[in-house]
Each structure stands twice: as structure tokens, then as C-alpha cells.
Amino acid sequence: QLERFKGTWAAMAITEPGCGSDSAAIRTTATKDGDDYILNGEKIFVTSGERADSVVVWATLDKKLGRAAIKSFVVAKGTPGMKVERLEHKLGIKASDTAVISFIDCRVPAANLLGNPEIDVAKGFAGVMETFDNTRPLVAAMAIGCAKASLERIKEIFKDQLDPDYTTPYLQTSNLAAQIYRMEAEWEAARLLMIKATWMADNKKPNSKEASIAKAKAGRVGNEITLKCVELAASVGYGEDELLEKWARDSKILDIFEGTQQIQQLIIARRELGKSSSELK
Ligand SMILES: Cc1cc2nc3c(=O)[nH]c(=O)nc-3n(C[C@H](O)[C@H](O)[C@H](O)COP(=O)(O)OP(=O)(O)OC[C@H]3O[C@@H](n4cnc5c(N)ncnc54)[C@H](O)[C@@H]3O)c2cc1C
């Protein structure tokens, strides 16, 4: 599969009208039929759903067997039965297409099921959830990039009031400079957490907790920094002549998709306390 799908661009379709944070609640079905699976259901908020080469769809082989029966399927663009119904209008990331996609008797080769086709009730949800171990650090990186752009711009706007060598003691700086240094420290902490989680993913070390920590910190810090930069630049920051207002809008989604701030904190708490998802909701 790695060889077959190498170099292609895939969107990820998990969210449904009745299921967001609780991805175990998906209702899209996959029914085996000879050498194919037949998908039926509706996916919403699919980033790149219209433009990508394929869509990776989470569907259940058997709703009665719970989360263990959820598998992901690669559906190539143009497959009969898969239809982009509409694109969403959004607060930010407007250059990104966000699609509602229906699947009506959509037939995909059985070889397009990613991972193990067996339903392993003991392993549960772990297979498909490993997706997030790789994608959450990347969303953290997006938040860090967005915040960095805002920080660089605000430092440019106020360059005459900042000490480029950082030699002025913190308590003797202006309040403006102190706020910018504080943001830089938070930004650096988020960046290091992201690098750690990404390094663990690259080196095939279990990183679910670190991926959530990085995503929670970077998502939150990204929102705080981009909005604070609008605040510091005030009317200049709010106007569309500057990109500061765009980055503030764009950064919000980075604390929502791939699991919200609250969901990341829940996952971290479960890992720290050794609780299962049914024990700590
Ligand atoms: C622009 C955009 C792009 C997206 N791209 C994709 C994509 O490519 N693929 C995809 O599958 N999905 C995508 N999504 C969907 C996104 O992942 C979901 O919106 C997100 O997971 C939250 O789900 P929800 O919107 O249903 O909110 P809900 O799950 O209804 O949550 C509402 C609020 O309740 C909180 N909450 C929920 N459960 C708990 C809990 N147990 N404890 C504490 N608080 C809780 C949440 O944090 C949130 O604040 C996208 C969404 C947007 C807006």
C-alpha cells in the first residue's frame, strides 16, 4: 500500500453530522462484497475533500462490534458513488476547501482497506487512532508556523521599541516588549514539544500522549499569540491591509481539528492517570 499510494495526496474523512469529537460514534458503513467493500454514509468538514487525489474514509464493518470494527478505506477521486455535495464557508483557512461528501453504494477494492481487515476487539480502536499520532504533531507545526508569522510581523512593526539583543533586564523593558518576549517564550516551548512528538513519530516510538501535548500547547499558544498580535497592533492589526487579522482567524481551526483543545487534555489525562476512554469521558 505504501508503494501503491506513494506520492498521492489524500484527504481524511472522519467527521459526520452526528459525530465530531467522539470519532467512535461514526455511522458510515463498509460492507464486504466479493473483492470490494461498499461504502454508505455522509462525511462533513473534509479538508481538501474536493482537491485531493483520494479520500481516506473511516467506516464501520459492523456497528454492533463497536470501535474495533472501524477501519479506514482509500477512495480515489472520481470513484462512482462518492460525491462532493458542497463546500463550506469558514472563519479562516479560506484557501483550503472543506467538503461535505456523500457515499452511496460506493464500491472500493478490498485492497484499499488500510491496515488489518480483521476486527480485533482486544486492540479496539488503536489501529485507526494511530493516524492522529502522526497528524497531531503536524497540526501543532501549522499552529507554530502561523504564530511565528504573527510574531515576526509584530516585531517588525515595533522594532524601534524592542531590544534586538535581549540584553535589557525583563523588568526594565516596556510592557509592550515584555508581552512580546513572553509570547516568544511560549512559542519556543510549543515548538520544542512539537519537535519531540514529531521525532518520536519519525523514530516509530509510541507518541500518543506527546502528540496530544504538542497539539494542545501549540493550538492554544497559536490562538493566544495571533490574537495578542492583533491587539498590540490595534487598528493596524484589525485591518485587512495587514495579514495579522488573517493569521488570527486561520489559527483558530488549529485548536479545533484533529481533536479540540478539550479532547487533547482528556487524552493526556487518561494517559497520565492510566484510565480508559470509558473510565474518563
Ligand atoms: C475547517 C474545518 C476543517 C476540518 N477538517 C476535517 C477533516 O479534514 N476531516 C475530518 O474528519 N474532520 C474535519 N473537521 C472536523 C473537526 O475535526 C471537528 O469539528 C472537531 O473534531 C470537533 O467536532 P465537532 O465540531 O463535532 O464538535 P463537538 O464534538 O460537538 O464539540 C463541541 C465542543 O464540546 C467539546 N467537547 C466535546 N466532547 C468533550 C468531552 N468529552 N470533554 C470536554 N469537552 C468536550 C469540544 O472540545 C468542543 O469545544 C474539520 C472542521 C473544520 C471546522
With pLDDT > 90 as the criterion, what percentage of the chain qualifies? 90
Q: Topology of domain 2-114, per CATH?
A: Butyryl-CoA Dehydrogenase, subunit A; domain 2 (2.40.110)
Note the pLDDT of residue 124: 67
Torsion angles phi and psi, residue 20, rounded to 5: -120, -90
User: How far is the C-alpha of 194 from the C-alpha of 179, rounded, in Å?
Assistant: 23
Residues with active-site annotation: 258
* Phi, psi values for residue 57, rounded to 5°: -105, 130
CA–CA dist 151, 200 (Å, integer): 28
Mean pLDDT for 17-31 is 94
98 within ligand 1 shell (Cβ under 6 A): yes
What is the residue extent of each domain of the chain? 2-114, 126-273
Question: Nearest C-alpha to atom 44 of ligand 1 is from which residue?
Answer: 262
- CATH superfamily of the domain spanning 126-273: Butyryl-CoA Dehydrogenase, subunit A, domain 3 (1.20.140.10)
Please work out whether the CB of residue 267 comes within 6 Å of at least one atom of ligand 1: no
CA 256 to ligand 1 center in whole angstroms = 6
Nearest CA to ligand 1 atom 13: 45
Q: Answer yes or no: is the C-beta of 45 below 6 A from any ligand 1 atom.
A: yes
Give the model confidence (pLDDT) of 89-125 as tens digits: 999 999 999 999 999 999 999 999 998 899 988 776 7
Q: How far is the CA of 129 from the centre of ligand 1 (A)?
A: 15
The partner residues of 76 in beta bridges, in order of sequence, read 54
Query: Which residue's CA is the closest to the ligand 1 atom numbered 27?
Result: 20
Cα angle 128-24-204, degrees, rounded to a multiple of 5: 25
How does the average pLDDT of the chain come out, rounded? Answer: 95
Does residue 87 line the site of ligand 1, with CB under 6 A?
Answer: no
- CB distance 263 to ligand 1 below 6 Å: yes
Q: Mind listing the pLDDT tens digit for each residue in 59-93?
A: 999 999 988 999 999 999 999 999 999 999 999 99
Q: What is the DSSP string of 177-190?
A: HHHHHHHHHHHHHH
Distance from the CA of 27 to the center of ligand 1, in angstroms?
Answer: 16
| Confidence (pLDDT) at 127 | 74
Cα separation, 216 vs 264, in Å, equals 6
Please name which of 74, 96, 90 lies closest in space to residue 8, comparing C-alpha atoms: 74
> Is the C-beta atom of 101 inside 6 A of ligand 1?
no
CA of 255 to the centre of ligand 1 (A): 10
**What confidence score (pLDDT) does residue 24 get?**
86
> What average pLDDT score do residues 256-268 get?
97
The per-residue pLDDT for range 154-204, each reduced to its tens digit, is 999 999 999 989 999 888 999 999 999 999 999 999 999 999 999 999 999
Rg (CA), the chain: 21
Among 22, 45, 50, which is best to mutate for testing ligand 1, by the most ligand atoms less than 8 A from CB? 45
- The pLDDT of residue 43 is above 90: yes
Q: Is residue 22 within 8 Å of 14, Cβ to Cβ? A: no
